[in-house]
Structure 1
């Protein structure tokens, strides 16, 4: 007997369904590339940003940075006040895949590292999100990918069989964590490779 086809999709959101990159905003804020690089590597870093994904508010999380880097106060505030300028729109190939899966009746869910403060605005960016039946959002849960607990919560909440659920994420660490828990996985690096991968798993 062959391996049973997958029956369910579990989607990451950022850089899988919609493109997000702080540089998209801060390239408009800083004139000098070197200062931009310093800001993102020493001030508003991705390690710092993870606190938002864990449920810390923007207002609370920036207080320490404002005290340490008062010269960057305006730019630090922009992480929240100009948050939406970090996005460059939906990924067309993923939108098309979500619509095609919905037409086939494939169950689709979301598992995202995201602030609870930005979730509603993010899923308003594309009509494709309407086909995703439920989300586990790290900012609401207080745990983040790649911690195993958040994958277990998604599986329990949505009644997922990991062996028949394809998890799609752009982070290699998240992919490795899901695979260790028995999920089928697709490391999303090339939008053009998405549909062939879904076909290979028997979803399209």
Structure 2
């Protein structure tokens, strides 16, 4: 059965997302570990991904943990430094698919304000045929509802969608709905999958 659209996650597929790495360079690994043990920063970020105001959410969390207040505020002020760099080969694959006339969608857990800012730093984020941004949708992966919302909007049968994501739980939900999937562990493997599906030639999929 043919594939009618390819769906990309963004974080750690098209752009590296490594908050811990950034904090290690700024405050040291020991201080970072202590903060992450005391504060569930990823849960805080989940609220942003669900559509909560980015700055207010971070500031409210910082106010509850005075011992780490300055460091928590870095999540807002240094956010783009955590979401870097882009993964060039993945970006090339996305553009190669579009140049072949294959519709390419984004399905990503991303806040409203943070995504708008990311667009100014990574122009390729504006190039998708459709963009499904969790903050705008009010629902995040791996909840089945967000996958259902994509299906209803694009009107493509699940088995004709090929989805790549770096998280096992997101892949599992997509598979349960009948999507074709690829666990992203690096752009080379993703390139090979696109070639195997007949969507790109080996030359088109090369780095």
Match of 1:86 among 66, 82, 89: 82
User: Which residue of structure 1 aligns with residue 17 of structure 2?
Assistant: 20
Contact 1:115 1:138 in 2 (8 A): yes
Where 2:162 maps in the other structure, the secondary structure is strand
TM-score, normalised to structure 1's length? 0.91
The reply on whether 1:166 has 2:175 as its aligned counterpart is no
Match of 1:154 among 141, 150, 153: 150
> Deviation at 1:52?
0.9
Specify whether residues 36 and 187 from structure 1 end up closer, same or farther in structure 2 by C-alpha distance, changes over 3 A only.
Answer: same
What is the aligned residue count? 200
Where 1:136 maps in the other structure, the secondary structure is strand
User: Which residue of structure 1 aligns with residue 48 of structure 2?
Assistant: 52
> Deviation at 1:188?
0.3
How far apart, CA to CA, are the structure 2 residues paired with 1:199 and 1:42?
45
1:96-175 aligned within 5 A: 96-175=92-171
Specify whether residues 54 and 122 from structure 1 end up closer, same or farther in structure 2 by C-alpha distance, changes over 3 A only.
Answer: same
> Deviation at 1:125?
3.5
What stretches of structure 1 move > 6 A for 4+ residues in a row?
A: none
Contact 2:174 2:181 in 1 (8 A): yes
TM-score, normalised to structure 2's length? 0.89
Contact 1:116 1:140 in 2 (8 A): yes
Contact 1:51 1:61 in 2 (8 A): yes
Structure 2: gaps (5+ residues): 201-207
Contact 1:52 1:61 in 2 (8 A): yes
How far apart, CA to CA, are the structure 2 residues paired with 1:82 and 1:53?
17
Contact 1:164 1:183 in 2 (8 A): yes
> Deviation at 1:63?
4.7
Specify whether residues 108 and 130 from structure 1 end up closer, same or farther in structure 2 by C-alpha distance, changes over 3 A only.
Answer: same
Contact 1:6 1:202 in 2 (8 A): no
> Deviation at 1:115?
0.5
How far apart, CA to CA, are the structure 1 residues paired with 2:16 and 2:121?
11
Specify whether residues 133 and 54 from structure 1 end up closer, same or farther in structure 2 by C-alpha distance, changes over 3 A only.
Answer: same
Deviations 1:43-91 (A, max 9, x none): 2521222111111113332354334311221111111111111022111
